[in-house]
Structure 1
Amino acid sequence: MKSDKIIAIIGLGYVGLPLAIEFGKLYQTIGFDIDKNRIKELLEHKDKNDQVLNTDFQASNHLYFTHKHHEIQKADIYIITVPTPVDKYKTPDISALLQASKIVGEGLKKGNIVIYESTTYPTCTQQNCVPVLETSSNLIYNKDFFVGYSPERINPGDKQNTLTNIKKITSGSTKKIAEEIDALYSSIITAGTYLAPSIEVAEAAKAIENAQRDLNIAFVNELAMIFDKLGIDTYEVLQAASSKWNFLKFTPGLVGGHCIGVDPYYLTHIASKMGYHPKVISAGRQINDAMPVFIAQKMIKLLAKNYLEILNAKILLLGITFKENCKDTRNSKVPQVAKELLDFGCDVHICDPIADKAEVKKTYQIDIFDLPETFKNAQETKYDGIILCVAHQEFKNISLPLLVHKNSVIYDLKGFLETKSSENITRL
């Protein structure tokens, strides 16, 4: 790969920013985002997602940021890393992907390469995105410009499995372009690359990675529902089963986030369009989507069992991000638990010491508290129930007796409390 190639990263979120940083260490790189506030923050070497440190910005000395469309038109290679969520009907929303394709297409030149990293369904790149590139550029695909797909494997909040030490799948629209794209990524990915035989194979591989995880979690979530009826502790069962060398160690809980809770819908979407209606994948999604209601109703039952009034019961939910030690609240299922409890007439408080309060308010219309505010609230009136939703490190040192009265209910979804320490503690 020639070092004089100019790379433009389109979208500077959890995926795009780390990628721009790494490429910016070796190549002239343009980091582009339509969010002017995001660009202002990055120009000041600040990352609200806490993925990139000031030293990382300094090391990426060939990188600059912009929100201006015309500034990316000097690029030779465009890498698109925009969000691909689902809408309220669980239908794939590729509007950002198509918008990014249009922006890139307007400045596309002969010989340019466009690489997509955004998770999507198999065939989307060539059937949905390429036509937008052709229309907006007036160029011909695989003659004037070329396309690749290299699915992102970013794990938000993970400080060990980072971009450069996770093997990268690559692909291209021709054999030559595929090899060029593979060489490009090989120059920054120390863990190596895997060159897929086609763009569709690369798209499908990404989709099934998260669908597989979703199904495994759905299995243990269903087990948790069964063992709840039998009065058996799920974590004790899983611990016993884990004594076998090949038992897969998954735990029950809420399944949110931008990947596991979303990607299976992209797979079922394209399957349905082809006339096949997936049964196993859809069943897994139904089970995991039902967990917020199951958890809220379980809390109501526990309150009643402890002779506590349900109406106006003061309930504390610990954590609102989609996973532990991560600021990402996208597609979090905790707000659904809160809504269900509110429907029962409970007084619900949510504490999260690392989530962005303004972002949560904007996205979910929910006010959240930090730890000092939570303890202050408990001084006025002790909580009747606590649900440990997210296993943030900060929560492991909390003195729960300071927050509750003697009959309070503690419902541990993450299994980091010893049930033997109190008869009022229940694990999912």
Structure 2
Amino acid sequence: MKTLEKLKNGKALAVVGLGYVGLPLALAFAKKVRTIGFDINEEKLATYRRGIDPTKEAGDQAVQETTLHFTADPEDLAEAAFIIVAVPTPVTDDDVPDLTAVKSASRIVGQHIRPGTIVCYESTVYPGVTRKVCAPIIEKESGLVCGKDFKVAYSPERINPGDKVHRLPTICKIVSATDDASLDDVAEIYSLVVDAGIYRAPTLEVAEAAKLIENAQRDVNIAFMNEVSRAFHHMNIDTQEVIKAMNTKWNALHFTPGLVGGHCIGVDPYYFIYEARRSGYVTHIAAASRLVNDGMAAFVASSTIREMIRADLRVHHSRVCLFGLTFKENCPDTRNSKAFQIARDLLTYEVDLSLVDPWVDPEKLPDDLRAHFISLKDVRDMDTLVFAVQHRQFSGFSPSDLTVFYRKDRAPKVIVDVKGMYGRKELEDSGFLYWSL
């Protein structure tokens, strides 16, 4: 019997890992088939059961109305004919792939899997992990044979936190599996929740590699624009004006300089670099792009200090407010946020630092930064403002709105606008000392 028929006849679909990727996926499937949402984090599950979506990806109402069964009991996975693993795959402090969570999830699945089940991984991994790492773990824990008693598949997640246009139903879904029959099953099941179409990759490794390269490609393009920006600062050329002029050409790529954090673009290239090196090839461009992008937070912090000195500010104990702590705009996700690094770099200069972000729960901030957090309404008497994230709450500030945040006698008013939200001429005409990437 095909897996979709099993689901329609009452067998469950399970999603292991209910974070930014797993929760929207599980909620979507729960509208179509009986769905189990498994996570080992009881606190997270309790939040969901109260009808709260802290990721803000699906929304509280979707969580409140779902039929999804939230559980931390791995025994429930035995009811599933199709299991999706969507757990984090970060890198270590040495930028080496950390497969701890995906290995642990594979062990849990292996201990409770039933014959005939398909296990599909969505976690970002380097080519070969699904076949050579995850499947053997399931075999060891279950005593079953991959390809005979159970099947594995891979379908890379493409969730873009904070993006209300490109959502699960509207993003083409790549699927792959160990054989043609399983590939048909996986494609049919994802078609239940994806309207944009299914792309069938010929092998697991192709699908794994595609996820890495689509993000590594963006990393390379952003790194080039970051390098361009730093060069133009030496030439006294406004990068934003160069970009506006460049983008008038039909084939311009419309990339801009910026901070590269988060769970994908700032991480996935390291998985590619790692496996390429293990295979005997040194990746020059991808590695160089990571070096450039990882250095941008320090560049922003040092540039802030330089602008403060230009404004005749005494840096020691100057009041600096950093706006935006998430890794991107209009979402609460702080994973691998480069704003944290800017904050820590500024603190080494012993400035009086305040941190503001209407999207962030201060209790979730790192211990060393939590005490610096204030609300937007409490921002006043500042010497310097640093806007690291383009939240919609910040983008509409006029020069007079911004002036309210400074000391009354502060002139010039130093503003660091990382994303170029504000017009340079308008602010400079209003007495600001303006800096942007």
TM range, smaller chain: over 0.9
Deviation at 1:351, TM superposition (A): 0.7
Please give the alpha-carbon distance, in whole angstroms, between the structure 1 residues aligned to 2:257 and 2:86.
Answer: 30
The change in CA–CA distance for 1:176 and 1:41 in structure 2 (over 3 A counts) is same
Please give the alpha-carbon distance, in whole angstroms, between the structure 1 residues aligned to 2:29 and 2:389.
Answer: 33
The change in CA–CA distance for 1:364 and 1:348 in structure 2 (over 3 A counts) is closer
Q: Does 1:420 find its partner at 2:425?
A: yes
Please give the alpha-carbon distance, in whole angstroms, between the structure 2 residues aligned to 1:401 and 1:178.
Answer: 59
Partner residue in 2 for 1:357: 362
Q: Does 1:293 find its partner at 2:298?
A: yes
Which residue identity lines up with residue 178 of structure 1 in the other structure? L
Residues 361, 367 of structure 1: 8 Å contact kept = no
Aligned residues: 421
Q: Does 1:206 find its partner at 2:208?
A: no
SS at structure 1 position matched to 2:127: coil
Please give the alpha-carbon distance, in whole angstroms, between the structure 1 residues aligned to 2:436 and 2:415.
Answer: 8
The change in CA–CA distance for 1:203 and 1:384 in structure 2 (over 3 A counts) is same
Write out the 4+ residue segments of structure 1 that deviate beyond 6 Å after TM superposition. Answer: none
Partner residue in 2 for 1:258: 263
Which residue identity lines up with residue 387 of structure 1 in the other structure? V
Residues 25, 59 of structure 1: 8 Å contact kept = no
Alignment equivalent of 1:403, drawn from 389, 402, 405: 405
Q: Does 1:68 find its partner at 2:73?
A: yes
Which residue identity lines up with residue 326 of structure 2 in the other structure? T
| TM-score, with length taken from structure 2 | 0.94
Residues 256, 331 of structure 1: 8 Å contact kept = yes
Please give the alpha-carbon distance, in whole angstroms, between the structure 1 residues aligned to 2:371 and 2:235.
Answer: 35
Deviation at 1:96, TM superposition (A): 0.3
Structure 1: state its 5+ residue gaps.
Answer: none
SS at structure 2 position matched to 1:349: strand
Please give the alpha-carbon distance, in whole angstroms, between the structure 1 residues aligned to 2:188 and 2:122.
Answer: 16
Measured against aligned partners, the alpha-carbon deviations of 1:242-296 in whole angstroms (never above 9, x if no partner) come to 0001001011111100000000000001011112111000000000001011111
Which residue identity lines up with residue 47 of structure 1 in the other structure? D
Residues 362, 370 of structure 2: 8 Å contact kept = no
Residues 323, 357 of structure 2: 8 Å contact kept = yes
SS at structure 2 position matched to 1:73: helix
Deviation at 1:54, TM superposition (A): 4.2
Measured against aligned partners, the alpha-carbon deviations of 1:290-346 in whole angstroms (never above 9, x if no partner) come to 101111111111111111112112111110000011110000001111111111222
Partner residue in 2 for 1:16: 22
The change in CA–CA distance for 1:349 and 1:133 in structure 2 (over 3 A counts) is same
Which residue identity lines up with residue 336 of structure 2 in the other structure? N
Partner residue in 2 for 1:52: 58
Alignment equivalent of 2:148, drawn from 143, 152, 173: 143
Deviation at 1:58, TM superposition (A): 5.6
The change in CA–CA distance for 1:324 and 1:107 in structure 2 (over 3 A counts) is same
Please give the alpha-carbon distance, in whole angstroms, between the structure 1 residues aligned to 2:395 and 2:204.
Answer: 44
Residues 9, 32 of structure 1: 8 Å contact kept = yes
The change in CA–CA distance for 1:23 and 1:362 in structure 2 (over 3 A counts) is farther
RMSD: 1.3
Which residue identity lines up with residue 401 of structure 1 in the other structure? T
Please give the alpha-carbon distance, in whole angstroms, between the structure 2 residues aligned to 1:364 and 1:283.
Answer: 30
Deviation at 1:370, TM superposition (A): 1.9
Please give the alpha-carbon distance, in whole angstroms, between the structure 2 residues aligned to 1:145 and 1:139.
Answer: 7
Partner residue in 2 for 1:389: 388
Deviation at 1:82, TM superposition (A): 0.3
Please list, as runs of the form range in 1=range in 2, the aligned pairs for 1:167-316 lying within 5 A after superposition.
Answer: 167-316=172-321
Q: Does 1:35 find its partner at 2:41?
A: yes
Partner residue in 2 for 1:95: 100
| TM-score, with length taken from structure 1 | 0.96
Please give the alpha-carbon distance, in whole angstroms, between the structure 2 residues aligned to 1:52 and 1:341.
Answer: 35
Partner residue in 2 for 1:126: 131
Residues 148, 181 of structure 1: 8 Å contact kept = yes
Residues 384, 407 of structure 1: 8 Å contact kept = no
SS at structure 1 position matched to 2:435: strand
Please give the alpha-carbon distance, in whole angstroms, between the structure 2 residues aligned to 1:364 and 1:275.
Answer: 41
Which residue identity lines up with residue 400 of structure 1 in the other structure? L
Structure 2: state its 5+ residue gaps.
Answer: none
Please give the alpha-carbon distance, in whole angstroms, between the structure 1 residues aligned to 2:211 and 2:368.
Answer: 27
SS at structure 1 position matched to 2:395: helix
Deviation at 1:239, TM superposition (A): 0.3
Residues 53, 63 of structure 2: 8 Å contact kept = no
Measured against aligned partners, the alpha-carbon deviations of 1:223-245 in whole angstroms (never above 9, x if no partner) come to 00000000111000000000001
